[in-house]
Amino acid sequence: MSNNTIYLVTGTNRGIGKHIVSALVQRPSTTVIATLRDPSFTFTDISTHPTSKLVPIVLNDKIPEISYASLPFRLSLIVDHIDIVIANAGYASGFRAIQNTDIDDIVTDLQVNTIGVVKLFSAVQKLLLSEGRKGEKKFVLISSNLASIGGRPEVPSASYSISKAAANQFARMASVEFRGEGLSVGIFHPGWVRTAMGHDLADVLNRKEPPLSAEESAARIIELTDKLDLETSGKFLDSQGQELPW
């Protein structure tokens, strides 16, 4: 279909990512490529619009056959371009202060939250920025206000914050470097969400529970993604669309 919009969304087996996929595939003329780590996971509880399609892809960088390095070839068997990428996959080794954080935790969070984003961008770059293609070209990073250096809340999150701040820098640089090719880059804080990670943070802060549901957060992310263009590209925004300090 010539008017078909093609998304690639990472980290989709639960939480925000799953709700993003669920909402997108209910739109007409939409293809959603959904990456997940668990090969046994299925999307049987998600309904799809009759003109749309959901394509799960297993992605695990520890296994060469299904790693980021294999992704360009595997994607080329499915689509000839991608319109919008939502880099949602993320991980927190724990919410601890610097003095209580192991180097291994920092390395782990950097591997997933920073290097994983760089590898993803490299893997989709050709399909996302294919020469001569008209239409949307968007790369969205699901970040966190804990990545903010200038306005971060007082939260013990050394490894997670370091890795997310580095990812923000990469996304900001990409917004400048590839602007001439028509790429819009979104850097969005999804809010404090009732996911496994969000509940872990609530426990550390002795709070009852995060305020946002994953479904509400996903809806806000999709709205921000819909509005994203070259004018708003490269800005660090919260889930309400307000600019956050770097």
What is the side-by-side strand order in the sheet with 84-87?
53-58, 30-36, 5-9, 84-87, 138-142, 184-188, 236-237
What domains sit in the chain, N to C, each tagged with a CATH number?
Answer: 5-237 (3.40.50.720)
CA 105 to CA 181: how far, in whole Å? 36
Residue 75 has pLDDT above 70, yes or no: yes
Annotate 11-63 with DSSP letters as a single string. Answer: S-SSHHHHHHHHHHTTSSSEEEEEEES-TT---TT----TT-EEEEEE--TTS
**pLDDT surpasses 60 at 198:** yes
pLDDT computed for residue 74 by the predictor: 97
The C-alpha torsion from 101 through 103 and 105 to 111, rounded to 10°, is 140
Distance from the Cα of residue 246 to its chain's centroid: 18
Query: Residue 164: pLDDT above 80?
Result: yes
Is the Cα torsion angle 192, 198, 203, 205 positive or negative in sign?
A: negative
pLDDT at residue 2, as a whole number: 58
